[in-house]
């Protein structure tokens, strides 16, 4: 991977900044977000790693992480970040870049029948809000 200033001045970087309103350059990679993330154990790239990918302009790799689909915006990270980086907003913006291409990640047909029968609407409404367009 060859990095240059050009990697940071891409259309994807401009769109991500527009959707998220976040300045990822603020992050100094302390890893506090990853230490407190309740879903980090299941993530392929830790939350601060996703931020690093974005800092380096690697949007395609960032949107390929399982991590962005595991973030439920509980905000443990954002509440503790010493640099005030809003990671849930960044994760949602990365999801939006994928979802807005038209392919939902959550399909009703893939939810097990027993879950559909007992899960509160809140779970379904929230899930489809976050994981489909």
Partner 1 sequence: MVYAFYPGCTLHSQARGFRESTERSAAALGLELRELPEWQCCGGVYPLAQDSLFPVLPAARNLAAAANLGAPFVTVCSGCYHVHKRTNRLIASDPEKRAQLNAMVEASYDGSGEVLHLLEALRNELPAGELAARVQQPLTGLRVAAYYGCLLLRPEDELQFDDPERPSILEDHLRELGAEPVEFAYRSECCGSYLSVSAPQSARRAAGNVLNSARKAGADLIVTSCPLCFYNLDEQQPALQAADYDFQPLPVVYFTQLLALALGVWESPWYAEEHRIDPGPVLARFGGVKAAGD
Q: How far apart are CA 81 and CA 130, in angstroms?
A: 23
CB of 59 vs partner 1, minimal distance in Å: 15
**Which CB, 4 or 109, lies closer to partner 1?**
109
In whole angstroms, the minimum distance from the beta carbon of 9 to partner 1 comes to: 20
Angle, vertex CA 85, rays to CA 100 and CA 103, nearest 5: 15
Supply φ then ψ for residue 83, to 5 degrees: -105, 5
Tokens encoding 120: 């509160």
Which residues of the chain form contacts with partner 1 (CB under 8 A)? 18-21, 38-39, 41-42, 69-70, 72-76, 78-79, 86, 88-89, 92-93, 96, 105-106, 111-112, 115, 118-127, 129-131
């Amino acid at each position: 991977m060859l990095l240059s200033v050009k990697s940071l001045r891409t259309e994807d970087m401009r769109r991500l900044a527009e959707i998220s309103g976040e300045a990822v350059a603020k992050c100094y990679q302390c890893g506090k977000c990853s230490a407190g993330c309740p879903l980090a154990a299941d993530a392929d790239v830790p939350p601060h790693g996703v931020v690093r990918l974005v800092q380096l302009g690697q949007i395609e790799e960032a949107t390929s992480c399982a991590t962005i689909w595991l973030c439920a915006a509980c905000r443990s990270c954002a509440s503790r970040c010493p640099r005030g980086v809003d990671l849930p907003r960044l994760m949602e913006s990365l999801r939006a870049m994928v979802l807005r291409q038209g392919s939902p990640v959550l399909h009703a047909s893939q939810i097990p029948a027993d879950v559909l029968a007992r899960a509160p609407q809140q779970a379904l409404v929230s899930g489809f809000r976050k994981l489909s367009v």
